[in-house]
């Protein structure tokens, strides 16, 4: 039970560390516009806040896959796979910072696309399982968060305010990860019943 609790807490730690990193690094970077510029520029090769933003990538990339095992045990379904994917892809994006070469830039952006897509997909997949278990309102809220997050992340590729839409999209899904982790901690019980049975009997999430 203590291991499961620790894994669930990683769903709070990872998103919090990531958001704190870009929220702190942006104001520390002279001439950087959080509305127009993507978060990845804060971890670019010669960025003064590279170490801080890279730490945020690592915090998220390590913690969220650990949290995904708690999500799998508590919820079942396929949402945990999407969560694990987004964490691993975030590590990949952090390992290939921008401005080294055109090739590494493409690799970085590839990992970033995978990470953002799977992040937005996580609450959508969780919504399917929640709906099947009779949690209609939670399912609808999860799907809405996923749709809004995905919409913002797609829009960020086509508008001059890329940074703003990216931050909105990521924060929505990161908030869902943290909220779901707290919900898992609230309903956690020392029982041997299946995840679906535990979910059906739980008062929340």
- As a whole number of angstroms, the distance between CA 24 and CA 42 comes to 10
Stretch 196-202: mean pLDDT, rounded? 52
| Selection from 121, 122, 94 nearest residue 21 by Cα | 94
- As a whole number of angstroms, the distance between CA 76 and CA 113 comes to 25
Q: Which two tokens stand for residue 184?
A: 């898992």
Considering Cα of 110, then 86, then 97, then 35, what sign does the dihedral take?
positive
Q: Which two tokens stand for residue 181?
A: 């982790």
**Is pLDDT above 60 for 197?**
no
Mean pLDDT, the chain, whole residue set: 91
The whole-number pLDDT of residue 186 equals 87
**Is pLDDT above 90 for 8?**
yes
Q: How many C-beta atoms lie closer than 10 Å to residue 2's C-beta?
A: 6
| Selection from 138, 121, 118 nearest residue 184 by Cα | 138
The whole-number pLDDT of residue 198 equals 53
Q: Which two tokens stand for residue 61?
A: 């990339």
**Is pLDDT above 70 for 75?**
yes
Compute CA distances 142 → 29, 104, 177, whole Å: 34, 34, 10
Q: What is the number of residues in the chain?
A: 205
Helix H segments across the chain? 2-28, 50-75, 79-95, 102-132, 136-155, 162-187, 195-201
The whole-number pLDDT of residue 24 equals 96
The whole-number pLDDT of residue 189 equals 56
The whole-number pLDDT of residue 192 equals 46
Q: Per residue in 145-173, pLDDT tens?
A: 999 999 999 999 999 999 999 999 999 99
**Is pLDDT above 90 for 199?**
no
The whole-number pLDDT of residue 6 equals 92
The whole-number pLDDT of residue 187 equals 80
Q: Per residue in 51-60, pLDDT tens?
A: 999 999 999 9
The whole-number pLDDT of residue 194 equals 54
- As a whole number of angstroms, the distance between CA 52 and CA 29 comes to 11
Compute CA distances 51 → 114, 128, 133, whole Å: 23, 38, 43
């Amino acid at each position: 039970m203590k291991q499961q609790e620790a894994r669930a807490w990683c769903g709070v730690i990872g998103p919090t560390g990531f958001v704190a990193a870009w929220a702190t690094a942006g104001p520390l970077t002279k001439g950087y516009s959080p509305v127009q510029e993507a978060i990845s520029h804060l971890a670019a090769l010669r960025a003064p806040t590279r170490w801080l933003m890279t730490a945020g990538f690592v915090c998220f990339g390590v913690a969220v896959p650990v949290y995904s095992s708690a999500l799998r045990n508590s919820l079942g379904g396929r949402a945990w796979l999407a969560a694990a994917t987004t964490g691993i892809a975030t590590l990949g994006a952090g390992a290939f910072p921008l401005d080294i070469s055109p090739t590494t830039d493409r690799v970085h952006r590839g990992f970033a696309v995978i990470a953002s897509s799977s992040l937005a997909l996580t609450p959508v997949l969780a919504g399917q399982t929640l709906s099947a278990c009779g949690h209609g309102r939670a399912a609808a809220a999860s799907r809405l968060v996923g749709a809004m997050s995905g919409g913002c992340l797609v829009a960020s590729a086509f508008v001059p305010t890329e940074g703003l839409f990216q931050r909105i999209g990521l924060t929505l899904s990161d908030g869902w990860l943290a909220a779901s982790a707290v919900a898992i901690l609230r309903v956690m019980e020392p029982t041997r019943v299946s995840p679906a049975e535990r979910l059906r009997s739980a008062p929340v999430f």
